[in-house]
Structure 1
Amino acid sequence: MTLQTRLSDPDRTPPAMRPPSNPVYDAQRLVGDEGTAMIVLDDKTYTLRITRAGKLILTK
C-alpha cells in the first residue's frame, strides 16, 4: 500500500489532514465593511463584531 493510498483512505487519514466536519466562515467576510454582523438564533438577535485588537465579540 502506498502513502497516497493510505492518505486517501478516510479511516487512516491523520486528523490534521481531514477536512473540517463543521462549516468554516471567514469573520471578515461575515462582518463586511461595517464591522458587525447580526446573527439570529431562536428569535433572538446577536451582534458579532471584530474589535480593533482583532478579537471577536458576540453580544445579545
Structure 2
Amino acid sequence: MSTNEKGTPQSRTYTVNDIAAILGIGRASAYKLANSGLFKTIRIGNMIRISRKSFEDWLKMEDV
C-alpha cells in the first residue's frame, strides 16, 4: 500500500467530496454518479465510500 507525504496509508476509498473535486462537479452530481452503479461503492450508515480502484478504472475507460 502506498503512503502519502505524512506517512499514513493511502485510503483505498474516495468520499463523494473527493470525486466531486477530482471531476470538477458539484456534490449533488457526485452523489448521482456514486449512486449510478458505474463503480463500486460501500455504504457505512449514511456515508458513501467509493472504491479508489473501481473509480480510477472507470475514469480511465471514460478517457478513451
Bin for the TM-score computed over the shorter chain: under 0.3
Between Structure 1 and Structure 2, the one with more strand by share is 1
Give the TM-score, by structure 1 length.
0.22
Give the TM-score, by structure 2 length.
0.21
